[in-house]
Amino acid sequence: MFHPWHALRALAHVTLVWHEGGPAGWTHFPTATISLRRGMTLAERRSTIAHEVEHINRGPAHVGYERREELAVRKATAERLITFEALVDAMVWSGDEYELAAELWVDVGTVRDRLRSLSPWESSELNRRMERAELRHP
């Protein structure tokens, strides 16, 4: 299991600060600073810090490629926080995004990103396993 806070601690050059209101988190590359919004749930903080650590690890986006980079960071973060096996285990009993987020200890946006990032094989395998589970538990 990936531990975002351990990953942040391993980045000794990065400073964590907190802010009020605004976006959940942001990264300021020139000062190697990550800022998190106060008042988030544990799952929201976990998801946001994983996202910002991914930004730090990948480095700043090239001008004109910011949107593409953000999508890549969201995909990588979701895949790191939600393994395929954990997703299957959770989806066998619920397809509700909010229940999945609670079970997987992430925010709903991360669940959505993970579902959007399924490879063709993962999508097919997920459907196969869910159908098998339905047959066992009608």
Q: How does pLDDT run across 42-99, given as a tens digit for each residue?
A: 999 999 999 999 999 999 999 999 999 999 999 999 999 999 999 999 998 898 999 9
**Going edge to edge, which strands form the sheet with 25-28?**
15-19, 33-37, 25-28
Q: How large a percentage of the chain has pLDDT more than 90?
A: 91
Q: How large a percentage of the chain has pLDDT more than 70?
A: 97
Residue 89, classified by CB atoms within 10 Å of its CB into exposed (0-12), middle (13-18) or buried (19+), is: middle
Residue 16 sits at φ, ψ, to 5 deg, of: -105, 130
Does residue 134 register a pLDDT over 90?
A: no
Does residue 125 register a pLDDT over 70?
A: yes
**How many Cβ atoms from other residues are within 10 Å of residue 74's Cβ?**
19
Query: What confidence category does residue 1 fall into, taking pLDDT thresholds of 50, 70 and 90?
Result: confident
Domain count, the chain: 1
Supply the range of the domain harboring residue 95. Answer: 4-136
Query: What confidence category does residue 106 fall into, taking pLDDT thresholds of 50, 70 and 90?
Result: very high
The per-type count for the chain, helices as H runs and strands as E runs, is: 7, 3
Query: What confidence category does residue 136 fall into, taking pLDDT thresholds of 50, 70 and 90?
Result: low
Mean residue pLDDT of the chain comes to 95
- pLDDT at residue 104, rounded to an integer: 97
